[in-house]
Amino acid sequence: MQIRPFQKADLAACLAVFDSNVPLYFTQDERLLFEEFLASLPGPYTIVEDAGEVVACGGFARSNSNSNIVNLCWGMVHRDKHVKGYGTAMLKGRLAEITQNPEIEFVDINTSQHTAPFFESNGFATLYVTKDGYGPGLDRYDMRLTVRPKI
């Protein structure tokens, strides 16, 4: 397994990862938003490869509203590769990079009911839930991880 920065040549592979997760994890309507996100990345975006195949991708960016918050952005693992450790490796890699910045206190994510348990098992707490927040049957969970508590 190799974790590396996104390159423009990865676009088709990242879209294939996205497509593999529709409709359970993403709605088809979100595809264009993801493609636009990849065209103008607001922060680092990571690719996870295994045997030369892109199996996962995800990034992070500083929150516009608060400089001590980083948001995890568009993290996903190819549907055929779930529960093989790729998501955990990608999350740990992103958190390691984020926590190098001493100004960051919180890592936020919005995700669905399908992946919220994964983030809970990695220390994230649910702040609130919006029923059908992404679309019918796809609830939005806003979650937070405290990486540097105030003393």
- What are the domain boundaries of the chain? 2-146
Domain 2-146: top CATH class: alpha beta
**What order of strands is seen across the sheet that includes strand 45-50?**
2-5, 45-50, 53-62, 69-77, 106-112, 138-146, 125-135
Where does the pLDDT of residue 67 fall: very low under 50, low under 70, confident under 90, or very high at 90 and above? confident
Gap between the Cα atoms of 89 and 114, Å rounded: 19
pLDDT of residue 19: 97
pLDDT of residue 109: 96
Q: Please give the structure tokens belonging to residue 137.
A: 């049957």
Mean of the pLDDT values across residues 4-20?
A: 96
- Residue 42 preceded by cis peptide, ω within 30: no
Q: If residue 86 lies in a helix (H) or strand (E), which one and from where to where?
A: helix 86-98
Report, in this order, helix, strand and coil percent for the chain, each rounded to 5: 30, 35, 35
Per-residue pLDDT for 66 more than 80? no
Mean pLDDT for all residues in the chain: 93
The three-point CA angle 78-94-77 to 5° equals: 5
Give the residue among 97, 32, 96, 83 at the shortest CA–CA distance from 55: 83
Q: Counting Cβ atoms within 10 Å, is residue 94 exposed (0-12), middle (13-18) or buried (19+)?
A: buried
